[in-house]
Amino acid sequence: TAINNEVTELKAEIDAISTRSEFNTQKLLDGNFTGKRIHIGANIGQGITVGISAMNTTGLGINGTTVATQTNANTAISTVNAALEKVSAQRSKLGAIQNRLEHTIKNLDNSAENLQAAESRIRDTDMAKEMSSFTKSNILAQASQAMLAQANQLPQQVLQLLR
């Protein structure tokens, strides 16, 4: 019948979509995208595992679905509802992972900003220390010059007294 042919075509399209869907040469919906570990932090072990269940007709449990008879059509309704629940559950898992990744990005941005601020404070502190050391050296050099000048004047004053 025409309705059964339509169901068959829709199942074929679901399989085609699950076969063609890829990102960066990684197939996403054919059941092979499982256990992908994403490192999300600065330390060892800070990561999440991402996986997508098979979203083809076999993975969704609708590959044998037919609507040739009224009984088959009634069974198909519950089978399709179960498949929709699987798709919704997978979308929910991916949404939770996306939220976690967005939170991690914000956290890493904040950590990087704090690290830059700390580095700036350290550099500023070192600059102040160096400036203090430079000023101290200048004062000591000027005091040494003054002492030498006075030491050179003393013999001349003694000579003037003797004349």
CATH number, position 106:
1.20.1330.10
Report if residue 140 sits inside a domain.
no
The number of folded domains in the chain is 1
162 within a domain of the structure (yes/no): no
Q: Which two tokens stand for residue 69?
A: 């008879």
Q: With b meaning 16 or more CB within 10 Å and e meaning fewer, what string describes 42-69?
A: eeeeeeeebebbbbbbebbebeebebee
Residue 159 lies in a domain: no
Domain presence at residue 127: no
pLDDT value of residue 128: 77
Task: Give domain status of residue 163, yes or no.
Answer: no
Pairwise CA distance, residues 110 & 70, whole Å:
60
Strand (E) or helix (H) holding 20: helix 2-20
pLDDT recorded at residue 16:
97
Contact 55, 15 (CB under 8 A): no
In this structure, is residue 18 part of a structural domain?
yes
Per run of 10 residues, the mean pLDDT along the chain (length 163 residues) is 93 97 94 92 88 96 94 95 97 95 92 92 79 92 88 76 74
Per-residue confidence (pLDDT) for residue 160, from 0 to 100: 76
**Structural domain boundaries, residue 79:** 2-117
Question: Is 122 contained in some domain?
Answer: no
Residues 79-114 pLDDT 10s: 999 999 999 999 999 999 999 999 999 998 999 999
Number of other CB atoms surrounding residue 84 within 10 Å: 12
Which pLDDT score is estimated for 153?
78
- Whether 64 is in a domain gets the answer yes
pTM of the model: 0.68
